[in-house]
Amino acid sequence: MDAQQLLALDNAHVWHPYSAIGVAQSIFPVASANGVYLKLVDGRELIDGMSSWWSAIHGYNHPEMNRALQAQIEKMSHVMFGGLTHEPAVMLASRLIELTPVPLQTVFFADSGSVAVEVAMKMAIQYWHAKGSPAKQRFLTLRNGYHGDTFGAMSVCDPVSGMHSLFSDVLTEQYFVDAPACQFGGMSGDEGIARLKQRLERHVDNIAAIILEPIVQATGGMSFYSADYLRRVRTLCDEHEVLLICDEIATGFGRTGKMFACEHADISPDIMCVGKALTGGYLSLAATLTTENISATIREGEPGLFMHGPTFMANPLACSAALASLKLLTDSNWPLNIARIEAGLEKGLSPCRALSVVANVRVLGGIGVVELNHRVDMEVVQPLFVEQGVWVRPFGKLVYLMPPYVISDHELAELTAAVGRVVESVSA
């Protein structure tokens, strides 16, 4: 099938994320991927600046990842997790407990990040029900946040500026406060934390947990906030006996310069969600980790077990991919590597600050953001990036980069230079 035939069928029948069937849009068929390059059907090669939505941290077609999956598929590709177990799942749970902050000790495997958030919310509600506080069924969260596209996850996304306002009448009404204005590296102002404290105290009898993205609000705006603010949130949760859920799906596994973003504040949540980079982008897998106290409380309450169980929970192939990905990451000097990428992003994106169309340029770890003064016209900008030989997928006012960790200095320089040229062209 040539590119035109493929695109014609795609346009007629295939839904893409946040798209409409039959509406012309810029879609680029991929034939293969290797290292940091996507090879299109027409032969062009693009440096991937997105890590396939932040997941392919080791790039594509990695030989060690491939070997791990080939070895596993010869044993079993899948087996139900109800009443059965297998070595990849047990080993992965053990490895996640080693890597995540104490006292996270138990692991529930899920299919995707959105489902991991659903699991976290259900855990929090069931925990309080078991403790005799069934009214604690609501969540307090930050505006500009994003936690996924399923119904529970949508309810804790920003109800105004987020992507789910259409469903507001059918979503559970949660409690929101303004996102922190304090910048990463600075201290938290009293005003922002005071609003959170006021809302918490007013509704504490109904709040099961505070849920937030630690340090980086990703899809909600790629903003980086103060670690001091996160520390103060942890303190408020402890003082008011409310759980803290950290959604590390975008930030986990080194992306911000720490293994997990909550480590910037030297705190541990009661429940943590991980996904995306967990399998190095090979297969969909996520996990929700919690403490022995929460696990035991749920066990000792009614009905004596946690009420969730995905069909493909702890898929052996996905668990094997995750083990291989974590080994690649932890066997490397990943903090030094992320610092290298951070320096390259800062150097390469810095010239954008001089452009009139640019409101802000910010970098943290392996995340680089160019925020514009106006929304990006995707049908104009997306092909421009492809013409420059890079794959960058902006949204809203944001042109951002989260490249694979294996990107070379030369490739990173090419990537950031392409961003500069495209941003400058749309400001002309």
User: How many Cβ atoms sit within 10 Å of the Cβ of residue 310?
Assistant: 17
**Secondary structure in 3-state letters for 144-190:** CCCCCCCHHHHHCCCCCCCCCHHHCCCCCCCEEECCCCCECCCCCCH
Neighbouring-strand partners of residue 138: 207
Tens of each residue's pLDDT in the chain, 428 residues: 888 999 999 999 999 998 999 887 889 999 999 999 999 999 999 999 999 999 999 999 999 999 999 999 999 999 999 999 999 999 999 999 999 999 999 999 999 999 999 999 999 999 999 999 999 999 999 999 999 999 999 999 998 877 788 898 999 999 999 999 999 999 998 888 999 999 999 999 999 999 999 999 999 899 999 999 999 999 999 999 999 999 999 999 999 999 999 999 999 999 999 999 999 999 999 999 999 999 999 999 999 999 999 999 999 999 999 999 999 999 999 999 999 999 999 999 999 999 999 999 999 999 999 999 999 999 999 999 999 999 999 999 999 999 999 999 999 999 999 999 999 998 76
For residue 257, CA distances in Å to 60, 70, 235, 338 come to 22, 31, 24, 6
Q: Structural domains in the chain?
A: 3-61+332-427 (3.90.1150.10), 75-331 (3.40.640.10)
For residue 242, CA distances in Å to 136, 165, 208 come to 9, 27, 6
Mind telling me the catalytic residues?
Answer: 18, 146, 247, 276
pTM above 0.85?
Answer: yes
Strand locations in 321-377, DSSP E? Answer: 358-364, 367-372
User: Between vectors from CA 385 to CA 379 and to CA 390, what angle results, nearest 5°?
Assistant: 140
Contact status, residue 46 vs residue 386, Cβ threshold 8 Å: yes
As to burial, measured by CB atoms within 10 angstroms (0-12 exposed, 13-18 middle, 19+ buried), residue 203 is middle
User: How many Cβ atoms sit within 10 Å of the Cβ of residue 409?
Assistant: 13
